[in-house]
Amino acid sequence: MSRQDHIARLKQAAKERILILDGSWGVMIQRQGLTEADFRGERFKDHDGQLRGNNDLLCVTRPDIIAGLHDAYFEAGADISESNTFSATTIAQADYGLQSAVWDINYEGARLAREAADRWTARTPDKPRFAAGSMGPLNVMLSMSSDVNDPGARKVTFDQVYEAYREQAAALHAGGVHLFLVETITDTLNCKAAIKAILDLQDEGAEPLPIWISGTITDRSGRTLSGQTVEAFWNSVRHAKPFAIGLNCALGAELMRPHIAELSRIADTLVAAFPNAGLPNAMGQYDEQPHETACMLEEWAEAGIVNILGGCCGTTPDHIRHVAQAAAGKPPRQLPERPTAMRLAGLEAFELA
């Protein structure tokens, strides 16, 4: 089956049911009890500096673990699994001195996700599985100063962020992902650089792939870290005509719900949500149990406000299994019809009919 045929099946499946994304990668990798040697492997055994904790590197040094986690999430009922490439950009990998390994990390991460998706599709042809290329946030921001004494200070330029995402997108595309997932967005300008990188790649002849954009509301204010409301964020990225728009991370399902409901009201595309397993406790751990997460997300499904559900920090294959069971048989959200208007965004949304 060609990639475009697979994408057509993804879009058809989204019309028929609520799709399920996988859960947290960080929590599952931490449970492996890996050593510095696992992260280094043979290729990086003499690399300067500590590599333990660089989870994306495991796509190259411990592909068996990454393949196993894809299988665990697909077995739990996920329709879509992300590549293990959340921080696989030259900017993020500079913390480890691994800029030169970025292409290989992304390519191998995409390949492992795609092979797992193809393997599970072959097992269950009536339930195709899909690989999403994860493009996470950066440790620098274009919208906010890096120096409290200089509002105009930035550690990077737009072009540098664009080039970092461009290399990641190209490698994920070459590795075979079915769609791009630009996720955990705290800075909309960083997101715009990622979007431009993907669209330019396609304009220059690469096979077009769907784009899924997922922002992060950082606290009870209902805004991203760069200060936008949910509606302003949507207005800022709508030009990309994404396959899906949504929110993930930061808040658990209880606190995320009103913001997902708002997206459901305004977005003329699929709405996706993959919240954390509640809020972290004093030790940074997540206590929300699978049935608790599933109970809240089941209400979202019954209310008709979502098309895609999954999990972020603290969620496991067991969480995803419960969510998949809770969403089964419930119809996906129907896209709203909104009147034609000029819709703009700064920190707040602006609409002129």
Q: How far apart are the first and last CA of the chain?
A: 45
Nearest to 275 by CA among 304, 249, 306: 249
User: Residue 191 annotated as binding?
Assistant: no
The 10 Å Cβ neighbour count of residue 289 is 14
Q: Residue 316 has what pLDDT?
A: 98
Paired strand residues for 248: 274
User: Residue 59 annotated as binding?
Assistant: no
Q: Where are the domains of the chain?
A: 3-352
Give the global pTM: 0.96
Cβ-proximal residues to 211 (8 Å cutoff; 6+ apart), any chain: 179, 180, 182, 195, 198, 240, 241, 242, 243
Q: Residue 220 has what pLDDT?
A: 81
3-state SS, residue 20: strand
Q: Residue 203 has what pLDDT?
A: 95
Residue 339 phi, psi (nearest 5): -65, 150
Which residue positions in the chain have pLDDT lower than 70?
Answer: none
One-letter amino acid at 74 equals F
Q: Residue 193 has what pLDDT?
A: 98
Distance CA 191, CA 38 (A): 32
| E-assigned strand segments in 27-95 | 80-82
| Strand ordering across the sheet containing 130-135 | 19-20, 308-309, 270-276, 244-252, 211-215, 179-185, 130-135, 80-82
Contact of 23 with 319, CB cutoff 8 Å: yes
Q: Residue 192 has what pLDDT?
A: 98
Total residue length of the chain? 353
Distance CA 250, CA 216 (A): 6
Can you state the angle between helices 188-203 and 158-175, rounded to 10 degrees?
50
* Domain 3-352: homologous superfamily in CATH: Homocysteine-binding-like domain (3.20.20.330)
Q: Residue 22 has what pLDDT?
A: 98
